[in-house]
Structure 1
């Protein structure tokens, strides 16, 4: 076998049409908070001790951090235990994704993976843990797996039985109730030259609002408005998204305001394989946040769990003093700022359904057991050749206990270029309490904002 599986089982997902899959029984649900963490991870570490026991995650910020500041590094004294390179990759092959093996081999001595002590920092508010326990007892997939029912606030399936449940855990993971921040994206040329696109992001997470229920949220997961700040040629462009829970019954709603035409228009194709705006065709729309949208184009298979080296605790990349020029390098980011740790991940493979068109025929997802955040992916072309590799570099935020990305990138192995998003260095800290109201995210509100 090319890779060793920590859990050598395969759960294939077939025959979802007609009925919903069952929720877990009471005895199984009682494992949450005992041998399993409240979100469903294995509480204990591994046999060697290289993965420690989960003791609650990072619940207190460092002493040098104050509210309103960008998160500081809680582990400033940590040094790499070792560095994986193209020369020593064989020593670690069983704990690497196929995508990382390919990058180590293809990009030679410049692409390295510094591996640090594993720190299980993922933590969430106590009421999120309580909802996770409730969801385990009630949540079910809808017919064909295109939505869920009897769930709210956070991941619906803390004890997943198939690949679709794991993917829905990522899509519906808790990211706070609302959020406002500014960051940049770029698509560096092969020589490393780049131009930034700066956006203001405003999120309103209807699904995660405290006290909400499915009837209240009108089939919405979240509302998102992005306002392009720079460059001047794109400034004033507004994108508005209403992300729906069951996108087959009620597809994603999206509008785009172009400052040149001064009109707000519906964007019905902002989904699936459509090029992500300003990505130079290096990333599809459904790769934003590592994966989003309706899962109906693929058959999903849960391959099991593995212990692998994944991006984690990326406080160096998030540092307020680090600038985009410090991060961006030709062909890949500055790997000296990256941090990899050994973690247990769920591995999910998605294969394109017969008769469906998408640029990716097969995709592999590596999903963190402690947070349900997708940490890495592999994307394959129509000939089943590895085409792209994506990473999510994450941190635990302090003002709202969430574990989420600070930076994402998709590497195109053929073009030897990449798309990077989340260059928030130099901008204010994320604001998890901006005081939004749901009606601020209507099409009419976006139209009024665009005209000001």
Structure 2
């Protein structure tokens, strides 16, 4: 009887909300000194970061329409300067640990071309209205592993604790759904690679403006991933229902192996288990720079700072460049990325002593305008920098929302890297709203065995 009362008390504590929602006075800053998404509206002191003026929410004349690639709205922009191994220490206060390590490791080839800052991130009015409402009502529950009283947009535009910016990234508005190609290349130290081509169908259930907080039914995202090439991996399927409260119900996941011809529950799709076809260069929770439960780490906000991050990556994600133009020995082609100076939230996660993860500490740099993670420094158990990630991104102005365009995971200790979530030679991604039934395991099993 005594044991039962202890269990009941623990469950009751798990469902109690953590302080998160802000006062009316604070929320009203989203209409004055802050942007509707919680960023600083004004320019920085020296004007190198301009004031936010609404973002880029209409398509430029060069855009050919949906299902076509996003053209570069700034074709005449030229680099302001280039950071190299010879001058990077002059810019060290605006670089992540991973970036600085790249200049040391590849002094003859690595560089960063820095362009004028364009604060293009912008959204529809209903997203801003949802953000304001979330600011007043959203709460973390279940010791920070659940979210309540929020929908559509970021729940914590004025964050107070370390988990809140991470939640903002996980549920940031990306439309109601998408179908896309995710090409991966695990590049060897010699520059060789084999392409793995994957299709992904995603329903952002939380982001649907027609679904309120009480109608989400504890599922944030429905995700279906199918490997299409090479032949030895083709037909491998991963299905995920990402839950909103992972204490009430952990992530639901299934995998299909063509050799077994059965869709099976897969409790290991998450945390530091190896990511699909990544040759051991990323974990499951590194897709989209970070995804899934946060419970293995203790989180804290370090502060805000100005950092050079990948931004407005239209040119490098377009049809002009082939995969062979992008993938080079040591790192992607440094002529192609566009870096800009932006304000970011710096958030650190350190593994709790009561649990484990192959990454002992991660430092995230989260763009203030979009809440998208731009950079991640990753440390091993000895405290040494092991890996680091970049998220190249662009404003999907026809929707509008800010969107991933390509990711990289650099292993500084092995000299290898993984490029992922790019699709230059595949059909362009486009917004698509899937019915929930599409992601039912029985339906996926039928598709797999056709």
Match of 2:308 in 1: 309
RMSD, aligned CA = 1.4
Match of 1:203 in 2: 202
Match of 2:174 in 1: 175
Match of 2:51 in 1: 53
Is 2:27 the partner of 1:29?
Answer: yes
Q: Secondary structure at the match of 1:257?
A: strand
Q: Secondary structure at the match of 1:110?
A: coil
Q: Deviations over 1:39-78 (max 9, x none)?
A: 0000001011000010011112220112131111111111
Is 2:240 the partner of 1:241?
Answer: yes
Match of 1:5 in 2: none
Retained in 2: the 8 A contact 1:183–1:427? Answer: no
Deviation at 1:124, TM superposition (A): 1.2
Q: 1:278-289, aligned counterparts within 5 Å? A: 278-289=277-288
Retained in 2: the 8 A contact 1:254–1:268? Answer: yes
Match of 2:353 in 1: 354
Retained in 1: the 8 A contact 2:191–2:330? Answer: yes
Output the CA distance in 1 between the equivalents of 2:269 and 2:14: 26
Q: 1:28-427, aligned counterparts within 5 Å? A: 28-67=26-65, 68-427=67-426
16-25 or 247-256, larger mean C-alpha shift: 16-25
Output the CA distance in 2 between the equivalents of 1:423 and 1:210: 28
Retained in 2: the 8 A contact 1:227–1:239? Answer: yes
Output the CA distance in 2 between the equivalents of 1:388 and 1:194: 19
Q: Secondary structure at the match of 1:233?
A: coil
Output the CA distance in 2 between the equivalents of 1:19 and 1:152: 16
| Unaligned ranges ≥5, structure 2 | 1-12
368-377 or 259-268, larger mean C-alpha shift: 259-268
Deviation at 1:229, TM superposition (A): 1.1
Output the CA distance in 1 between the equivalents of 2:350 and 2:54: 36
Output the CA distance in 2 between the equivalents of 1:135 and 1:214: 10
29-38 or 209-218, larger mean C-alpha shift: 209-218
Deviation at 1:170, TM superposition (A): 0.6
Output the CA distance in 2 between the equivalents of 1:69 and 1:21: 44
Output the CA distance in 1 between the equivalents of 2:438 and 2:261: 19
Match of 1:6 in 2: none
Q: Secondary structure at the match of 1:317?
A: coil
Q: Secondary structure at the match of 1:272?
A: coil
Retained in 2: the 8 A contact 1:123–1:402? Answer: yes
Retained in 2: the 8 A contact 1:183–1:425? Answer: no
Deviation at 1:17, TM superposition (A): 9.2
Output the CA distance in 1 between the equivalents of 2:76 and 2:14: 49
Deviation at 1:319, TM superposition (A): 0.9
Output the CA distance in 2 between the equivalents of 1:19 and 1:315: 41
Paired residues, what number?
A: 437
Output the CA distance in 1 between the equivalents of 2:240 and 2:318: 29
Q: Deviations over 1:375-424 (max 9, x none)?
A: 00011000010000100000011332111211001000011001111221
Output the CA distance in 1 between the equivalents of 2:248 and 2:140: 14
Retained in 2: the 8 A contact 1:399–1:432? Answer: no
Deviation at 1:106, TM superposition (A): 1.2
Q: Deviations over 1:95-138 (max 9, x none)?
A: 11111111111111211011000000101111001000000010
Retained in 2: the 8 A contact 1:246–1:294? Answer: no
Deviation at 1:320, TM superposition (A): 1.4
Deviation at 1:355, TM superposition (A): 2.0
TM-score normalised to structure 1 length? 0.95
| Unaligned ranges ≥5, structure 1 | 1-14
Q: Secondary structure at the match of 1:108?
A: coil
Deviation at 1:356, TM superposition (A): 1.1
Retained in 2: the 8 A contact 1:248–1:294? Answer: no
TM-score normalised to structure 2 length? 0.95
Output the CA distance in 1 between the equivalents of 2:220 and 2:288: 14
Output the CA distance in 2 between the equivalents of 1:445 and 1:307: 47
Q: Deviations over 1:130-156 (max 9, x none)?
A: 000000010111141111110001110
Deviation at 1:346, TM superposition (A): 0.3
Deviation at 1:339, TM superposition (A): 0.8
Deviation at 1:19, TM superposition (A): 4.5
Deviation at 1:265, TM superposition (A): 1.1
Output the CA distance in 2 between the equivalents of 1:411 and 1:432: 30
Output the CA distance in 2 between the equivalents of 1:180 and 1:39: 26
